[in-house]
Amino acid sequence: MRIGELSRRTGVAVPTIKYYVREGLLPAGRLTSPNQADYDETHERRLRLVRGLLEVGGLSVSAVREVLAAVEDTDRPVHKVLGAAHNSLTPPPGAESEELAGAREAVAALIERRGWQAAADHPAGEALAAALATLRSLGHGRFEEMLDVYADACERIATADLAYVGAVAEVERLIESVVVGTVIGDAVLSAMRRLAHTDASARIYGE
């Protein structure tokens, strides 16, 4: 298909498609003449993935580039590639502070208590510590009393996520499923949490 048809199918403007190609987010089409290129279903699928990561997942162009590199790396063991994909989705921690040091201890204690096979300095652990440090700095350190309740829910979600991913046979599609499930799944989880908050608030505080 021509780039115009690819644009119509995906709803992505032609200049944006060309930008994604220049940034390495989308493979170039097959040249049929000096000024014409053909695209196929793989381009359409990749374009939809890029759009979802950027618009729904809220990732930056550089983060999407790292995620796609992890998706395409099928030479490494699947567990390692999944870790690389997850790591590229996790923002770095903030500046060092007394709150951050204490929060890291809380995260390490949580991981040990739950028996999770993850290091406390895992990027996700660092991100959790940064969030807890912010809560402490705002006077909401008591929120940490809820960590095990959240952990119970997250363990169930992780089990469901990997059960969904396990149904995918091809490694490339498996990695893509994890990335999509992490980024878009976070958006789904956040939206559902807000819906549940709305319902709970109405039941508890509504007239």
DSSP conformational letter for 19: H
| Domain co-membership, 51 together with 74 | no
| Domain co-membership, 106 together with 162 | yes
What confidence score (pLDDT) does residue 25 get? 92
- In the predicted structure, residue 159 carries a pLDDT above the cut 60: yes
The answer to whether the CB of 127 falls within 8 A of the CB of 89 is: no
| Domain co-membership, 46 together with 19 | yes
Would you state the structure tokens that stand for residue 79, as one six-digit string? Answer: 């567990």
Hey, is 140 helix, strand or coil? coil
| Domain co-membership, 98 together with 46 | no
Question: In whole numbers, what is the pLDDT of the chain averaged over residues?
Answer: 83
For residue range 10-53, list pLDDT tens digits in order. Answer: 989 999 999 999 999 999 888 888 778 899 998 998 898 888 88
Domain count, the chain: 2
Percentage of the chain exceeding pLDDT 90:
41
Contacts of 126 by beta carbon, 8 Å cutoff, 6+ apart: 90, 92, 93, 104
pLDDT level of residue 93 (50, 70, 90 thresholds): low
> What is the mean pLDDT of the segment spanning 47-66?
82
Helices 41-51, 3-10: crossing angle, 10 deg rounding = 50
| Domain co-membership, 109 together with 141 | yes
Residue 132: how many other CB atoms lie within 10 Å = 24
CA distances to 6, 22, 45, 189 from 29, in Å? 11, 12, 13, 35
Contacts 24+ apart (CB under 8 A), 52-55: 52/180, 52/183, 52/184, 53/179, 53/183
What confidence score (pLDDT) does residue 98 get? 82
| Domain co-membership, 8 together with 89 | no
| Domain co-membership, 11 together with 48 | yes
| Domain co-membership, 82 together with 32 | no
Kindly report the pTM of this predicted structure.
0.69
> What is the mean pLDDT of the segment spanning 80-87?
63
CA distances to 19, 29, 34, 114, 137 from 109, in Å? 45, 51, 61, 9, 20
What confidence score (pLDDT) does residue 8 get? 92
Answer with the one of 36, 56, 76 that is the final residue of a domain: 56
What confidence score (pLDDT) does residue 164 get? 77
- In the predicted structure, residue 185 carries a pLDDT above the cut 60: yes
What confidence score (pLDDT) does residue 105 get? 94
Among 27-36, 170-179, 197-206, the range scoring the smallest mean pLDDT is 170-179
Range of the domain at 41: 3-56
Can you say whether the dihedral through the CA atoms of 62, 64, 67, 73 is positive or negative? Answer: negative
Give the H or E element holding residue 184. helix 171-205
| Domain co-membership, 52 together with 84 | no
**Which among 78, 74, 56, 63 is positioned nearest to 24, based on CA atoms?**
63
**Residue 146 or residue 167, greater confidence:** 146
What confidence score (pLDDT) does residue 170 get? 62
For residue range 112-146, list pLDDT tens digits in order. Answer: 999 999 888 888 898 899 999 999 999 999 999 99
> What is the mean pLDDT of the segment spanning 181-194?
84
